[in-house]
Copies of this chain bind each other. A is one copy, B any other.
Amino acid sequence: MAISSELPRHNVHFEPDNIKIQVDPGANLMETAVAAGVHINASCGGAGVCGTCNILVKSGRVESIRTDKISQKDYNRGIRQACQTRIFSDLNVEIPVGSRLEKAVLSREVEEVSAQKPVALVSGWSFNPPVKKVFLELPKPTMEDNVSDLSRLLRSIKQQCKLENISVNAEILTGLARILRTNNWQLTATILLEANSSCRVINIEPGDTRKGHYSLVFDIGTTAVRGQLLDLNRGKVISHCIDYNRQISYGEDVISRIAWSQKTGGLKRLQKAVTATLNDLIKGLINSADIEVQSISHMVVAANTVMTQLLIGLDPKYLRLSPYVPTISNVPLLKAKSIGINTEEHVHLYIVPSVASYVGGDIVAGILGTGIHQSDKITLYIDIGTNGEIVIGNSDVMLTTSCSAGPTFEGGGIKHGIIATSGAIEGFEINPSDFEPVITTIDSAKAKGICGSGLINIAARLLESGIITQNGKINTDFPTKRIRESEDGYEYILCKKIETQIDKDIVITEIDLDNLMRSKAAMYAGYKTLAKNIGINLTDIERVIIAGTFGNNIDIKNAITIGLLPDLPRDRFFFIGNGSLLGSRLISFSTDLLYHGETIANKMTNIELSENTEFMSDYMAALFLPHTNMDEFPSVTIKKGKKS
């Protein structure tokens, strides 16, 4: 018997999930939750500074440092920061609403995506997946024809498929003799097409298994992971899935993840977190489609550079240190199983190539899907997440950049900001008769906070009605009781305590507005910098393609009103939903497109903004609603407030 099992251990019980785990005395509560698979929000990744990982200790003894993130009143009733808490007895812990992830909104997103017909703009490809299943009937060996089993197999593939340069995965050898003889020399070979018109036999199965031939595509975001199961025979999406990236427990943004990866064992844990997320999603996809895991033949992933490096277990440290060098931008084909993904040995993972530290394969996939690299039309491609990724160009040239929009649009840095989950305020109007606000929330639930698209709508309406000024201050002269002064400055009450599920007034503060202004200014200055570098004005842009789930929910007019989008005619704007999945799906469907990713990545020039003086002056000029130069926003009219 090992000594460790002789020590007294403590039972920890997490509510409301009703999950139990045993730990050693002194264990950190945050890490215990991670180990138990219980999610607690933690923007800062356990550094103790964000105050989002609050939990309620209902019974049991803990040791916990009280920081200014918890009021004395909350502390007295048992609220603790999970990351600052150590366990010293059996424990009952409740994860309050504010610290929990809600999956309801994610499933809502899946519904919408399935309903929406994806618009692929890329051209010049046919349905011709890079992984094929071929049914073969081999002639039986005789004394006159007793070449090896492998030679017999390859000869037959050559004849039937007109393929040359055929190699084989060593793993198929073990079962080869048996499989050929199991079903009377009839079998199905799975063949991976490679560069230079060569190919590789990656799997063999007795009999005819062509019917089950599927691909998995995933978009691995910093916050959420989205996936689809594709039927490679019919070129159809079979099922969808989405979940939070389990790495969220190690911090909400890439910077916290990088910090975590530098701890002992940290990189491994981050990798395991994302592969565990993928494995659960795969299980779900397979179950919902009622297929066997053996019929998965291929996998494509697109992600930002940090997510890509963490997925394959590469230290992301240098991605955010000048001169911002990724370890790899063009990942060789990997076996999915080799990085811990629960697929069969033969499933190869194609990772869409990236351009630079800040411009990942998700953007390359989006460009591929929309065919910007093939078109004459000057196109602005935008994907707004925690980082805003921007591309301007056409078939001749493409410039790209990533600007740190900050977490504003995902609810970060906003006093009552939350991600787009149930109860988030999304719609906002001002009643013109009494100037009272009219809010709508996701799922029509009791209000819980403000999501990114809601924030844009709120700011636009407040600006248009004169409740806030163009420099983002609250117009205290406005005739409404909704404005009040707090210790953080002036704020506007969107929703009164009694109408919320958080037992607090939901407000928007001048600090919030300031953060929003900085985020949208960064995006706008990003467009301008790229346009100048390419030698055009923003008005020369012929198409604006908005990718991403957040993008899908943006109200274009409101986004122009606050200066987040350029003031162009409405008919130049297109939504494509998740661009990363769109591109990955097309790569799964067509060998013709497989190498577009590399072409695009090679064609794109990345502009680093962090040390760009032009960007800085454009940014300063954009720190106004919508902009200091109103000539750039001719369609926007604003009631002049006082305090400007």
Contact = CB atoms under 8 A, between A and B. Distances in A.
Interface stretch (A127-135, A294-302, A323-331, A539-547): A323-331
Nearest to A145: B323
A20 to B, nearest CB: 26
Contacts of A323: 141-143, 145-146
B148 A329 contact: yes
A106 interface: no
A338 B338 CA distance: 13
Given A170-B334, A177-B315, A329 B142 contact: no
A79 B174 CA distance: 41
A340 interface: no
Interface string A194-205: 001000000000
B326 A149 contact: yes
A611 interface: yes
Interface string A115-152: 00000000000000000000000000111011111111
Contacts of A315: 177-178
A52 interface: no
Interface string A509-528: 00000000000000000000
A7 interface: no
Q: How many copies of this kind of chain does the complex include?
A: 2
A202 to B, nearest CB: 12
Contacts of A313: 174
Interface string A138-178: 00011101111111100000000000010110100110111
Given A323-B142, A323-B143, A323-B146, A174 B314 contact: yes
A477 B326 CA distance: 92
A338 B170 contact: yes
A326 B324 CA distance: 53
A147 B178 contact: no
Contacts of A322: 143
Interface string A568-587: 00000000000000000000
A608 interface: yes
A559 interface: no
A73 to B, nearest CB: 48
Contacts of A318: 149, 177
Interface in A318-348: 318, 322-332, 334, 338
Contact of A149 (B150, B170, B327, B338): B327
A195 to B, nearest CB: 9
A210 interface: no
A3 interface: no
A329 B151 contact: yes
Contact of A150 (B1, B141, B165, B330): B330
Contacts of A611: 143
A357 B146 contact: yes
A176 B328 contact: yes
A446 interface: no
Contacts of A141: 323, 325
Given A1-B1, A177-B317, A327-B150, A332 B168 contact: yes
A178 B332 CA distance: 19
A312 interface: yes
Contacts of A176: 314, 327-328
Contacts of A196: 165, 196
A173 B1 contact: no
Interface string A1-17: 10000000000000000
A145 B141 CA distance: 58
A356 interface: yes
Contacts of A150: 327-330
B312 A173 contact: yes
14 contacts: A1-B1, A141-B325, A146-B324, A146-B325, A146-B356, A147-B325, A148-B326, A148-B327, A148-B328, A148-B329, A150-B327, A168-B332, A173-B314, A176-B314
Q: Which 3 A-B residue pairs are closest in the complex by CB-CB distance?
A: A148-B329, A146-B323, A150-B328
Given A146-B357, A150-B327, A150-B330, 16 more contacts: A143-B322, A143-B611, A146-B356, A148-B326, A148-B327, A148-B328, A148-B329, A151-B329, A151-B330, A152-B325, A168-B332, A170-B332, A170-B334, A173-B328, A174-B314, A178-B315
